[in-house]
Structure 1
Amino acid sequence: MEESARPYVLVCERIWLYRTLTAVAGFFGAFTYLLRGNVFCNAQTGNVVLMGMALGSGQWWHALYYLIPISAYIGGAFLSEILPTPVKRHLPMRWETMLIAIEIAAVLFLGLLPESAPVQISQVTINFIASMQYNTFRQSEGVSMATTFATNHIRQIGVGLAHELRRLRTGNTAHRKKLLTHFEILLFFFAGTVVGTVACNTISGSAILLTLLPLGIIFARLLHADLTTEKALLEKKPAGH
């Protein structure tokens, strides 16, 4: 198919953006685990398990604590569902652009917190922005993806390898783009974690400020598209919504 015949892909759906967001999420995972309480805040399965374990052990107040990060995650998903339309109606930008601005503000806030601040502040903040990001960036160039954790990409790699085995019989290679995309995104998450670990071990809590560079690049590119090349497409919903 010729380039001109391909459907237009919004900037907020392009693969480079998903790679970058996923690497930042890997960085956040290293940051919260190494420096903010030995927890992963990008998803909530662990908190639900820990809450159940605390209840099963009769630690009632300890169990109730987990309602805080879980509620923050619910709140992030809730806001990311109701805010896109008002943002587009009152501002010359997409919700995706506004979300990256919120993430930049959150990173600045966390990076400037003193090391003596309660770790729960960082945990809940990242719970909140990770939830909004997960619910907002859902599909890139025809492939459904999660930008905040690795489990789905690992599963999809397994599925893709099964299709690769079937290819020996059918000759069908339609699955390969999806397989390679998930493998690539997993590598970016891994790379973000490696960089985050080195940074956290070197400059401690201020390491999170390093993510301002990739987030700033994403914000600038999205805002430019909203104000120029995609100004007439602000009402177009990204795929997956």
Structure 2
Amino acid sequence: MKETQRATVQTSEALRVGLVLAAAGGYLDAYTYLCRGHVFANAETGNMVLLGVNLAAGQWAAALKYLPPILAFFAGVLVAEQMRSRGKARPEKSRLHWRQKALLGELGLLVAAAFAPLGGGWDMAVNVGVSFVCALQVESFRRVHGQAYATTMCTGNLRSGTELLYRYFCQRDPELLHRSLRYYGVIAAFIAGAAASALLAPPLGQWSVLVACGGLALALGMLFWEEVETRP
């Protein structure tokens, strides 16, 4: 009988971290849509569509509110890549891993967002900040068990999970099913986070963003474990 081998993966690629981050991602996307002017701070594709629709209608002011989050996401990816490069070039210079620094940056900006009143120019500022931190997150945490995935959007996860599910039905390889279910698990966590935001946003208002901070703090705590063991 063939012995099952254990594989070691970094905690940043552990499924539990991916689920927590996906829940936070769904929560933040619903938060900005429900509380901050119907803007999707995570899913820039939606903002690009709404930008184009409003431009075509000649609604310049309405179109303008979708541009800053897109640019903030662009900037967040650049900053995350700079943090990655510096962290790998000089790993001995800091006690914190660069991914831990990224999560701390997210937490700081989101806590600040909780103090911003709803409405007016504050909504734009918060949407820009959330788009920036979501870019940090999606760029810093890109794999679960070696598979590429996203924690702030789900179209790619749905495609990859469904592709693996089809391959499982063709090949009957249990590993393909396990890999597929990881993607669907991340999607379910994202949806659960959005649902939680919809329930908590009305009573908590601007402070509801702190719930996402709790999720990110949990993920940060998980990263203090250097590695986890999992079955392939």
TM-score, with normalisation over the residues of structure 2? 0.86
Q: Residue 169 of structure 2 is aligned with which of 165, 168, 172?
A: 165
In the TM superposition, residue 29 of structure 1 has moved relative to its aligned partner by: 1.4
**Contact residue 36 and residue 119 of structure 1 kept, 8 A:** yes
Moved over 4 A (4+): 59-65
Taking only the aligned residue pairs, the percentage that are identical comes to: 27
Instruction: Tell me the amino acid that sits aligned with residue 177 of structure 2.
Output: R
Q: Deviations over 1:79-110 (max 9, x none)?
A: 11112233463321211100110111011111
Quick one: distance in 2 between partners of 1:139 and 1:149?
14
Counterpart of 1:200 in structure 2 is 201
CA distance in 1, matches of 2:48, 2:162: 26
User: Retained in 2: the 8 A contact 1:43–1:130?
Assistant: no
RMSD, aligned α-carbons:
2.2
Corresponding residue of 1:141: 145
Structure 1: give runs of 5+ residues left out of the alignment: 231-241
AA aligned opposite 1:176: L
Determine the C-alpha separation between the residues in 2 that align with 1:54 and 1:202. 31
Q: Deviations over 1:107-161 (max 9, x none)?
A: 1111111234531111111111111111111111122110111212222333233
Structure 1 residues 156 and 101, CA gap change in structure 2 (3 angstroms): same
Per the TM alignment, residue 59 of structure 1 is displaced from its structure 2 partner at its CA by: 4.2
- Higher deviation after alignment, 64-73 or 7-16: 64-73
Q: TM-score, normalised by structure 1?
A: 0.83
CA distance in 2, matches of 1:215, 1:97: 10
Aligned partner of 1:238 in structure 2 is none
The 5 Å alignment of 1:200-239 reads 200-222=201-223, 224-225=224-225, 229=226
Q: For the residues of structure 2 that align with 1:50 and 1:38, how far apart are their CA atoms?
A: 10
Shift of the 115–53 alpha-carbon distance from structure 1 to 2, 3 Å rule, reads closer
Structure 2: state its 5+ residue gaps: 228-232
User: d(CA) in 2 for partners of 1:135 and 1:47?
Assistant: 19
Whether the 8 Å contact between 2:161 and 2:180 is mirrored in structure 1 is yes
TM-fit CA distance, 1:52: 2.2
Structure-2 separation of matches of 1:210 and 1:172: 39
Q: Tell me the distance in 1 between the aligned counterparts of 2:220 and 2:3.
A: 30
Letter in structure 2 aligned against 1:152: G
In 2: Cα distance, 1:78 partner to 1:109 partner: 22
SS of the residue corresponding to residue 174 of structure 2 reads coil
Letter aligned with residue 39 of structure 2: V
CA distance in 1, matches of 2:116, 2:139: 27
